[in-house]
């Protein structure tokens, strides 16, 4: 899926703010002429929920949610330079008594011509299978954000026979949330739920 591009009306004939919203994929964004500030937000993909176990009749744990990082840069003198990004996908739910897969980290800055500290969301842990007790996935703390680096939420372990809940997605600008962890499977349902995909947003004003 391509970028969702929002262009806002300029006031007084100045620079027209523009924002890019990437739900998947990878690529580069060019810093436009006239922009003064660039804000980048990255959310990692959520971990998948663990599968249940048909032998011990136990349920799976929930996957952790992806981390969230935000940076702001002054780009008055950087028109024409590029910023690379990668959007991490959600981890697959566990099958056949298996653990949930980790979410894939989202990144910004690892490629492109603009010099910045790489923003890395980190890979959210998948939920544990009921075979080993249905533990919750472990969240990680992002790196590289110069405004915030917020760890995802751990997934919940299975409890009382029910699969664990996935970690809650972290909130960014405007209350946007992405990268929730997948729920663990509740026996006799066999497969865990996949984690939600991450996101990358880049805005110029």
pLDDT (tens digit per residue) in 68-82:
999 999 999 999 999
Range with lowest mean pLDDT among 1-5, 20-24, 53-57, 125-129: 1-5
Residues 6+ apart with CB under 8 A from 94: 48, 49, 50, 51, 60, 100, 101, 126, 127, 129, 184, 185, 191, 192
Residue 159, Cβ density class (10 Å: 0-12 exposed, 13-18 middle, ≥19 buried) = middle
Cβ distance 166 to 136 under 8 Å? no
Cβ distance 99 to 184 under 8 Å? no
Cβ distance 195 to 48 under 8 Å? yes
Query: What is the average pLDDT value for the chain, to the nearest integer?
Result: 93
pLDDT of residue 1: 47
Q: Which sign does the torsion angle of CA 151, 157, 163, 164 carry?
A: negative
Q: How confident is the model at residue 4 (pLDDT cuts 50, 70, 90)?
A: low
% of the chain residues with pLDDT over 70: 94
Residue 43, Cβ density class (10 Å: 0-12 exposed, 13-18 middle, ≥19 buried) = buried
7-53 pLDDT, tens digit per residue, is 655 555 589 999 999 999 999 999 999 999 999 999 999 999 999 99
Alpha-carbon gap, residue 187 to 8, rounded angstroms: 49
Of 132 and 202, the structure prediction assigns the larger pLDDT to 202
Residues β-bridged to residue 4: 21
Q: What is the largest CA-CA distance in the chain?
A: 69
Give the mean model confidence (pLDDT) for residues 72-97.
Answer: 97
Q: Which sign does the torsion angle of CA 29, 31, 35, 39 carry?
A: positive
- Look at the pTM and tell me if it is higher than 0.85: yes
């Amino acid at each position: 899926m391509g970028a969702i591009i929002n262009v806002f009306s300029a006031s007084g004939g100045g620079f027209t703010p523009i924002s890019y919203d990437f739900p998947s994929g990878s690529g580069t964004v060019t810093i436009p002429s006239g922009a003064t500030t660039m804000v980048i937000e990255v959310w990692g993909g959520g971990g998948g929920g663990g599968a249940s176990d048909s032998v011990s009749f136990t349920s799976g744990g929930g996957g952790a949610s992806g981390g969230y990082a935000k940076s702001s840069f002054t780009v008055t003198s950087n028109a024409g330079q590029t910023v690379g990004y990668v959007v991490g996908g959600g981890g697959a739910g566990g099958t056949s008594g298996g653990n949930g897969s980790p979410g894939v980290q989202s990144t910004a800055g690892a490629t492109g011509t603009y010099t910045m500290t790489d923003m890395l969301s980190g890979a959210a842990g998948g939920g544990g299978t009921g075979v080993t007790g249905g533990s919750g996935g472990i969240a990680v703390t992002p790196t590289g954000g110069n405004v915030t680096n917020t760890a995802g939420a751990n997934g919940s372990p299975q409890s009382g026979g029910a699969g664990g809940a996935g970690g809650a997605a972290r909130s960014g600008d405007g209350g946007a949330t992405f990268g929730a962890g997948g729920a663990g499977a509740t026996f006799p349902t066999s497969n865990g739920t996949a984690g939600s995909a991450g996101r990358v947003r880049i805005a110029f004003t």
